[in-house]
Every structure is written in C-alpha cells, then in structure tokens.
Amino acid sequence: MVVGRFGVLLPALAIAGGLAAKKRVPEGPGSFPTTGMLWISLLASVILIVGGLTFLPSLALGPIADHLQLFAH
Amino acid sequence: MSQAQSLFTRELMLPALRDAVIKLSPRVLIRNPVMFVTALVAALSSMILLEGLARAAPDLGFQAQLVFWLWLTVLFGNFAEALAEGRGKAQAASLRATKADLTARLADGRMVSAATLKVGEVVLVETGELIPADGEVVEGCASVNEAAITGESAPVIREGGGDRSAVTAGTRVIADWIRVRVTAAAGEGFLDRMIALVEGAERQKTPNEVALTILLTGLTLIFLVAVGTLPAFAAYAHGMLAVPVLVALFVTLIPTTISALLSAIGIAGMDRLVRFNVLAKSGRAVEAAGDIDVLLLDKTGTITIGDRQASDFLTLPGVTREALIDAARLASMADETPEGRSIVALAGAGAPLPVGAEEIRFTSQTRVSGVLIGDRALVKGAVDAVLRRLGDSVEPAAANALREQADRIARAGGTPLAVADGARLLGVIYLKDVVKAGIRERFAELRTMGIRTVMITGDNPLTAASIAAESGVDDFLAEATPEDKLALIRAEQQGGRLVAMCGDGTNDAPALAQSDVGVAMNTGTQAAREAGNMVDLDSDPTKLIEIVGLGKQLLMTRGALTTFSIANDVAKYFAILPAIFVVLYPALAVLNVMHLASPQSAILSAIIFNALIIPALVPLALKGVRYRPAPAGELLARNLAIYGLGGLIAPFIGIKAIDLVVAGLHLA
C-alpha cells in the first residue's frame, strides 16, 4: 500500500519539479496552438489510449467479464 | 522506387545481417532498454522451452514458434540499426581511401609520414601533392582541389591571411605551393572526424533521444506491472497462465517498434545531412536545427546574388535617354565584370565598338573605366571619381544635378555610377543589389513554419531597409559588426529562442559558437570551422534553410513512428486478451472482434505482426516522413491522421491477415 501510494506520488512530484526548472519558451508563430479541437482530441486520445492500455487487462477480467457473464446467464 | 532499392542493395544487406547477430551482445543491447528487456524475456522463454523439451512437455511446437519470433524481433531491431550504420560506413570507406599513405615535407626538406606530424609544425606542399594534415596556410597561395571531401571538382584558392586559409588533409594542390602550419595531429583531423561521424562510431544519444528512451522505458515498466498482475486474476478464476503466453503479451505491448528504429532514425538523419554535403558535428545540432526560431542570414550571397546589377538609367536635364544609354553601353563593352555586363544587357542591342577603340582600364587610382574612341573618352565610375577626372571642365549646374541624383539612388538602397562623354556629364546608372529569384517565397515558407528571418548586412540602414523590404525578410541588422551579431544572438537566446546562423570568417567564430546551430562554410577559416557545429562542404549559405527542414523531418519521423508504435497496442490487446482468458471466461469471446481462428494462433499472429512491422518500417525510418513547410498545427494534424489513425487500424488488418496464414498452414 505504501508503494502503491508513494511509488506513484514521488515520480509525479519529480516530473513537476523538472517542469518547473525548465526555461520558459515564448509563444511564437511556430508554436502549436493549444486551444483548438486538434489539441483537445490529441490530449483526449492520448489519455484514453495510454490509460486504456494500462488498465484494460484488469478491466477485462473484472467488470467486463462480470458484465458479459451476467448477460450469458 | 529507385530510392527504396538503393536502401536494400546486396552490399548493404549482407554486412547488416551479420552485424544484427553481433549486436546481440548484452553490452550493445543494454544501450536500448526496451530491446534489452525483449532479449531478456526471449532468453527466459528459451530456457522454459529447453526445460519443456527435457521433460517432453506437450504443446512445444507453439512455444518454439513464440521463442523464434521473439528472437527475430530483437534481430530485426539490430538489423535496422546495422543497416543505417552500413550506409554511413559505405561513405566512410570512400573517404578513407583518400587518406591512405600521406607524406609530408618538413621545413628542412625531409619527407616524413603524415602520421608523425605534430601540431604547430610547418610543412611545404607543392603542385600535385596531397596536403598531409589539416592546417592553416602561413605562406603562399595555391589552387586546391577539394573534391575528396566536397565532391566539387572545381579548384578553390587557399592563401595565407584572410578568410580562405584553412586546408584539409587529403586534398590536392594543383597549382603553386603553400606552407601549412599543422593544426590537427594525425587521427584528429577533419577527415578523421568525418569518417567517425558517418560511421556512427562517435554517436551519442541526443537529449531528445534520451527523453524518448525514458518515456519508452516508463511505458515498459507500466506494461510489466499490467502483465505481472494477470496471474493473480487468473488464480481467482481458478486458472493458470503459461509464462510464454504472458511473455508474448508483454513483448507485443512494450513499444518495440519505435525502440528498434530509434537509433536508425537518428543515424539516417545525420546521413541525409552528409548526403546534402553538410557535416553535423553532433546529432544534437541536427535536432536543434529542427527547433530553430530565428534564422540569421548574411545579405550577400544568401539574399542577394552578391554582384550589383544595373537596373535603370537616369539622365541629367538636357540629355536624351538614348544618348545616355548609348554612352553607358559603349563605356561598358570592354568591361568584363558582372556590373559591366549587366549594364550592356540592360542597355540592349546597339552599334558594336568601333575599330580602334581603346579600353580605359579601371585602376584603384582613377576608379573609372570606359573606352577611348579617337579622342572621345566615354567613362563611367563612382560620382566623385568621374567629377575629379573631368576637373574644372564640368559645368557646375550639371555637377550639382548629378550629385542630387546620386544621393537619391543611395537613399533608395542602390549604387550610382556616373557616365560622362568627354567633358559632358550625361547621367547616372542605377546599380542595385539583386535579390535572388525565389528568395521571397522561401521566406514566406519559413514564416509559415514559424521561423523569423533576420538579414545581417554591413550596408547602411537605408540600403538595408530597402533590400529587406524587397526580399521579404522579417527584420534586418544594418552596419553589423561581429559584436552586434553576437549581441543579437544573445538577446534572442535570452528570450528563449533558438538561433541558427552561418559564417566563414574568424570574426564570425564567437557568434557561430554562441548560436544553437552554427553552420561554418568549408571555404572559411579553421577558427570558424572549429566554432560551428555544422560545416557546409559546398559553402552555400542558402542551405541553412534546407538544414532546418532536415532537422524538422528527423524530429517528425521520430514522433510519427512513436505514435504509430503506441497506437498499434490497441489492436494487440484485442488479439491477445480474449485469447488468454477465453478459457477462464468463455463470455470474453465477444472481445475477439477480429474473429481470430484460435487462442494460440491469435497470440502467434500478434507476435509475428509485432516482429514484421520493424523491417516493414525500416525504409520509412531511413528515408524520413514526407515533409513540406507548413504551420505546426497543420503538420501535426496530417501526421496524426496517417500515423496515429493508421497505427490504430493497420494492426487489425495485419494481425487478421497473419492469422489467416497461420491457421491456413496449421501452425497453431
């Protein structure tokens, strides 16, 4: 449980620290716009795919299997 | 298709296949964590297979095939890297041929082997001899054939003092002699570094590659945990999962595709630059080129042609335009300089020079040129020089009108050239710096890519502004000294922007060293070549624009293949998960959306697809994704559609096709 909590927490803090230490890059005409639909769909699909890949095995054996079995009976 | 064929010639394939096996050494593999893990689990599966053989366990045929494809995955990864290196090695071999057996003549006349030369020694190189070491010309002037390194057969002039003093080992003096002070010991010269670079021997991971490797290793860890928890779920359902099956799931999930191709992409990026006759001293420089925000471009040679060209004739009051044009044409007929030829071209057709016409040659004292027809002198030259030549014979009113016109031209950014017929002033020729054709479009292209261009010139601000407006650069730095250049680069970098520039002189060296991408011209001084992080062997400053494109292409290729690799995983889940668990929960068969023949063929098909996709993508990794200048958002949208969406869909089709073959051949 300790690992489950802090093993995730500490790397996330390290990433935040690393980002804070980076120098700022001014927005220019070459920057990628982070306000349009493209950005929203990109961010959403990355979260869905990477999250899905991480949890799908557990989900398939837990809730999904449960659901399918209920229907089978 | 000729390019695709040249990637896979027999001469490149056979050594690459051999190297792929040699690279199985753990010491080499550890540099690529994901492939190292793949090799580890392949070894683990091999041991389980051997143990199974020892006790004649059932189902070994399937296990043996899994082990076979696992090792093939690792080998394909090694093969991609070896093939990329092989292309560099082929180039290095031709370079090395020029380096064989160089000898040097010392100051006292002794001949020694070039390998024994020390830095600071002075050697004499005469006509027909090869220059034994990199160095600086201290005395003499010679024409040198540098085809060995540049591929350009026209000789170049190398002389002591000034900006053309650097010579390179292995190049040949074809006329005259030079004394050269050695600046690099044997094995550390330009050619040696070039060979090491194209061979990839000095290859270090670039910051971008390190970051990507960390991400991929992180993903590998996540999948290790995800797969590692499965036996517990299986135990709950009173089942057992075979280790080889878990291994298969794990290997298909971890990003093997991009990891296998990562170094090949980097090597191929450097290689594309070398083919383009630009030598990057590190992969870091190539990557930086792709992220450039500001381009500093020298006016002369990059934006303008370099020679001034006649663009108009302006008459003085009381002079007909025809008289001026005729006089200007005649005065320029004997003048073979680009300026003179441009005047004749602008004047158009007319009478030839009369027989007996004598040329008045340009000298640095008189600073005028023209012709003498009988006793009629037609001259052209700088305004003050022409006025001085005419002396008191000139009318004061005409002289004043001439000065006024000259001032107007100078303000507009041009150079005025006065024309006189005998003692009579006719008018001025408007000489103009000619902006290169198409350069405006190039700058517009750069602007859509989000890159700002700054023109650097020694001209006065008025001239600079007019040329800047005509060529379409975003900004300019007039009357620029090397210190101004350096200050400008520092200011841009303070604002967090990456700056690229090119230069050749020793006084460019500090700015070249300060800039993020400094392209030194090969014809430049040794100091400039040392300071820059790229050297352009053709000494063409316009190439800076293409270098940025190549850098962007490298970054985009890496991003595209990473996206493709991770998007592939979705289909692999749908292939393997139902296959593994359908025994425990028959209802999960609905997840088998591809309707794969059997659980075993599903697992095998996924692992075969995972292995085969690596060589299938090698041509793309080596050639790079197609690149055209466009705004960042547009490029991303296009590449996401091809490599993201394609990466989601392709494996569904690929795995299904392989499954049909596997089931058809009764392999599983």
pLDDT in tens, B225-234: 888 888 888 8
**In this structure, is the dihedral angle defined by the CA atoms of residues B377, B380, B383 and B385, taken in order, positive or negative?**
negative
- Which among A28, A42, A58 has the least Cβ separation from residue B229? A58
Residues of B labelled catalytic: 298
- A17/chain B closest Cα distance in angstroms: 16
Q: pLDDT per residue over B598-652, tens digit each?
A: 888 899 999 999 999 999 999 999 888 888 877 878 888 888 889 999 999 999 9
- Which among B230, B588, B640 has the least Cβ separation from residue A42? B640
- Determine, for residues B293 and A52 on separate chains, whether the beta-carbon distance falls below 8 Å: no
Residue environment code for B479-503, b if the CB has 16+ CB neighbours within 10 A, otherwise e = ebeeeebbebbeebbeeebbbbbbb
- Which among A33, A50, A60 has the least Cβ separation from residue B581? A60
| Across B258-283, average pLDDT | 85
- Determine, for residues B496 and A49 on separate chains, whether the beta-carbon distance falls below 8 Å: no
Whole-number pLDDT of residue B163: 67
Question: Look-up: residue for tokens 């004043």?
Answer: B400
- Determine, for residues A53 and B577 on separate chains, whether the beta-carbon distance falls below 8 Å: no
Tokens, residue B52: 């199974």
pLDDT band at B3 (very low <50, low <70, confident <90, very high): very low
B314 pLDDT higher than 50: yes
Whole-number pLDDT of residue B635: 85
Question: What percent of chain A shows pLDDT beyond 70?
Answer: 92
- A13/chain B closest Cα distance in angstroms: 15
B1 pLDDT higher than 60: no
Q: pLDDT per residue over B375-426, tens digit each?
A: 888 899 888 888 888 888 888 888 888 888 888 887 777 788 899 988 888 9
- A14/chain B closest Cα distance in angstroms: 14
Which residues in chain A have their CB less than 8 angstroms from residue B584's CB?
A: 61
B255 pLDDT higher than 50: yes
Tokens, residue B332: 């320029």
DSSP 8-state class, residue B586: G
Count other C-beta atoms under 10 Å from residue B518's C-beta: 27
| Across B578-591, average pLDDT | 82
- Determine, for residues A57 and B633 on separate chains, whether the beta-carbon distance falls below 8 Å: no
- Determine, for residues B636 and A68 on separate chains, whether the beta-carbon distance falls below 8 Å: no
| Across B48-59, average pLDDT | 84
- Determine, for residues A29 and B573 on separate chains, whether the beta-carbon distance falls below 8 Å: no
Higher pLDDT, B635 or B3: B635
Interface of B with A in 68-87 (CB under 8 A): none
Whole-number pLDDT of residue B4: 40
- What is the average pLDDT score of chain B? 84
pLDDT band at B5 (very low <50, low <70, confident <90, very high): very low
Higher pLDDT, B299 or A10: A10
Helix B33-54 crosses helix B256-275 at what angle (to 10 degrees)?
Answer: 130
Instruction: Report yes or no: A51 at the B interface, CB cutoff 8 Å.
Output: no
Amino acid at B531: A
- The interface pTM score, or ipTM, of the predicted complex is 0.83
Whole-number pLDDT of residue B412: 76
Q: pLDDT per residue over B132-174, tens digit each?
A: 888 888 888 888 887 766 666 677 888 877 667 788 887 888 8
- Which among B496, B566, B633 has the least Cβ separation from residue A26? B496
Cα diameter, chain B: 118
Tokens, residue B626: 């197609």
Which residues in chain A have their CB less than 8 angstroms from residue B592's CB?
A: none
Q: pLDDT per residue over B553-580, tens digit each?
A: 999 999 999 999 988 888 888 888 888 8
Residue ranges of E strands in B119-191: 122-125, 135-145, 156-159, 166-167, 172-175, 178-182
B8 pLDDT higher than 80: no
Report the C-alpha gap between B166 and B150 in whole angstroms. Answer: 14
pLDDT band at B660 (very low <50, low <70, confident <90, very high): very high
Q: Which of B580, B523, B477, B17 is nearest to B249 (CA)?
A: B580
A63 pLDDT higher than 70: yes
| Across B201-226, average pLDDT | 84
Whole-number pLDDT of residue B532: 86
- Cβ pair B158, B165 in contact under 8 A: yes
Report the C-alpha gap between B262 and B464 in whole angstroms. Answer: 45
Number of A/B CB contacts below 8 angstroms equals 94
Which residues in chain B have their CB less than 8 angstroms from residue A58's CB?
A: 226, 229, 233
Question: What percent of chain B shows pLDDT beyond 90?
Answer: 16
Residues in Cβ contact with B507 at an 8 Å cutoff, skipping those fewer than 6 apart: B482
